[in-house]
Structure 1
């Protein structure tokens, strides 16, 4: 057997048995324009892993550094979201509930009010407002006892805090998961200069977040795209004081999102802020405890279906929601041998992959979001997963959850004015030393390919354009007739 035939045999054995029948040749050479782009950016070809598999037509599959263990960054979300679709089902929902341990008489709950989290990845302010409206509709106006938060749904793992070379810990994309995740724990700060009167507003208006406004008002001029406004949070025992400095011309405004409170303070503060606006009152304090067995449920809210959740995760690469989904898999299938829900999720995903015939020795999942230095996969393993997803009953839901090239999500500004625009659904991945894309793309003949391109390099400058060139080269590949003639 020749060396080329051996490579073909190995490639076929490591792909799902349900996949299409490929040509007798395998491409192991980078497209010329991709090789040129690597050279122009002074990145060696060994840093780039590429796999392209034809899914509904002829064409030679491509394998470049396909079996190298690499950090996939956020393309790891494809593993988590596809597993969730098949294991939880596309209409899976999470629930959040209010419980009471005392009687309700004349608008007064004589007891404690419990808010039980169920791991909802998308419990935003609108949904919380509706849930509190439902509480009012059920006869509650004043609570004589405490606001008690039940955050026991997840068994949380003890994972290292991610630090991508000094990222600001207050950035919302670093928010970790929680059984009672409210509004992704984000605070929106809005600075406005109304004719010399500078205001700084925070949403939601949580009482433990105080503003020290030191912004200098400037005369009216052209509003800057990025106003010179800086937020310096100072934590204390009662909450956090945000010192706001900078300069803002009259008639201009700017906003930013920060995560400054822990999950307990944020959830309690958001509930109290909305409840106060609704005319309600909670006389007691805030604490964390499980709902007593004899308490009764008085209001409940359901999350959107899983298909909407994975759309948010993949289109906008939402790390917190991905981690929330990963732990939800663990909580759903946890057994006595699992130390925590991360361990349970890892176990159930590996079992699911094995049932599909997808053996993935390089796969390492830490939190399921790709926001990790530990997570690993090979390009072949990820492409094989995409090939299996193409055959899944939920293929349409999975594919449509990914950004559409040059149209929306994290791909909205890429591949414009190319043949790929509007013809590829691709998940992106970005860390300081990683650039990645993975998903489904069409060639000029309308045939669909599973594509994975992952670059791991200490200085990945220009890497996004390199990965885009992989897709452009695939789109412009020689036609089937020309290939046959050669």
Structure 2
């Protein structure tokens, strides 16, 4: 398993700040009064059934309405929150960047345009857009085409200077395939989450393998064997093995078996950011009837360059909905660096350090002690990130009382209905009654958000379980929500 580079400046900063404030209490702005410090009985039973000790679970249940008393258990333990860390990143972004914040992506040139021929280089400048998908890129290039550009005599130049990237090793949780899209890191010019959709079909005994977008630097070596017609499995036996070549291209060996009349698809991230962005631009431009005569390179847009076309992202409210509903790690990391880029100072080594500093300062201004907080990349896909259940609950309470409460709550998965909670508790009275963000690593199970009890009162609920063997722990956290709803403690 890869981890954060031990010698990186960010790690030293994270550890120094965490150690300096580890013993400070975290303010939980709750009303004075009695507090329950015992886990609900059914939660204790669920823990016992999974052979997990009570001390592994940190729990805060805090009423936002009604007269019930809060439950606070193991709330000050420093824990890894997994993807519930996205709540810190997204709510900080709402207040620091604003709900209408947008990102821009632009095409520039340093040469004249005559009779459809751009006599110079074409520059694509990234602005850190977390959601620059293929449709948006296609529309941007259609705009370029509508402005009279057809042939480009110079190079395709990628400007990826918007972020000052931290030096972090890629996260890989127990050897998972590093070509999986959820492991894609951030980039100032992030295109389509760097994902290629691979489609395998067997039509009449003939196997075809297609890549979308059809990037020229991905070479497909089709070794899939055809089987007679039969029942099509939900997960076809088609395997993709990428091999990077010396020139940066990818030889994608496709093996396995596929029945006649069947098909299957998967998503891969096999190219680096620059190769994917350049390959996508060239594929779309060719489909639009254009050509680029020069090569691909990375450089900054020169000051004298002329703007040709510009596209804006959806606003921040839509972005955080994608991040929280579907726990999108790449978009969360992109948003975290965007905070850093917005508030970076000369003293910051990179945008991750800047974002970490600014978020801690923001928490302090809100009356929430930032002591337990350690943020590496803002997504929770990390072994380094830390918070406490008390701190997370204080943040959720502040969000509930803040000006963007509706926008924030609506970004969280609805219990039993959508996002990462779609299949959980859907046949219970809790379906639709809670907005809950989930978190999962191989030693972490977590939920954080808002849920209602049977009397219609809303609660902040934070339950974070750190354990070497958290088998069945998702059902334990579901029991937390059920116990809260039923108010049987």
Q: TM-score, normalised by structure 2?
A: 0.94
Residue 191 in structure 1 maps to residue 200 in structure 2: yes
Which residue number in structure 1 is paired with residue 351 of structure 2?
A: 341
Which residue number in structure 1 is paired with residue 289 of structure 2?
A: 279
Deviations 1:269-295 (A, max 9, x none): 000000000000000000000000000
Deviation at 1:167, TM superposition (A): 1.4
Residue 110 in structure 1 maps to residue 119 in structure 2: yes
Which residue number in structure 1 is paired with residue 49 of structure 2?
A: 40
In structure 2, how many angstroms separate the alpha carbons of the residues matched to 1:404 and 1:127?
28
Select the residue among 231, 239, 247 that pairs with 2:240: 231
Residue 178 in structure 1 maps to residue 178 in structure 2: no
The answer on whether the counterparts of 2:128 and 2:334 sit within 8 Å (CA) in structure 1 is: yes
In structure 2, how many angstroms separate the alpha carbons of the residues matched to 1:13 and 1:362?
8
Residue 252 in structure 1 maps to residue 265 in structure 2: no
Residue 421 in structure 1 maps to residue 431 in structure 2: yes
Deviation at 1:360, TM superposition (A): 2.4
Select the residue among 84, 89, 100 that pairs with 2:109: 100
Select the residue among 453, 473, 476 that pairs with 2:483: 473
Deviation at 1:161, TM superposition (A): 2.0
Residue 412 in structure 1 maps to residue 412 in structure 2: no
Which residue number in structure 2 is paired with residue 380 of structure 1?
A: 390
Which residue number in structure 2 is paired with residue 298 of structure 1?
A: 308
In structure 1, how many angstroms separate the alpha carbons of the residues matched to 2:67 and 2:323?
32
Secondary structure of the structure 2 residue equivalent to 1:51: strand
Secondary structure of the structure 1 residue equivalent to 2:211: strand
Count of matched residue positions in the alignment of Structure 1 and Structure 2: 465
Which residue number in structure 2 is paired with residue 316 of structure 1?
A: 326
Select the residue among 201, 210, 214 that pairs with 2:219: 210
Which residue number in structure 1 is paired with residue 99 of structure 2?
A: 90
Deviations 1:155-210 (A, max 9, x none): 00111321211111111101000000000000110001112111111000000001
Q: Which of structure 1's runs of 4+ aligned residues deviate more than 4 A? A: none
Question: Within 5 Å, which residues of 2 pair with 1:58-69?
Answer: 58-69=67-78
Q: TM-score, normalised by structure 1?
A: 0.94
Secondary structure of the structure 1 residue equivalent to 2:369: coil
Residue 221 in structure 1 maps to residue 230 in structure 2: yes
Deviation at 1:12, TM superposition (A): 11
The answer on whether the counterparts of 2:104 and 2:313 sit within 8 Å (CA) in structure 1 is: yes
* Unmatched segments (≥5 aa) in structure 2: 1-23
Which residue number in structure 1 is paired with residue 27 of structure 2?
A: 14
Residue 354 in structure 1 maps to residue 364 in structure 2: yes
* Unmatched segments (≥5 aa) in structure 1: 1-10
What RMSD, in angstroms, separates the aligned Cα atoms of the two structures? 1.2
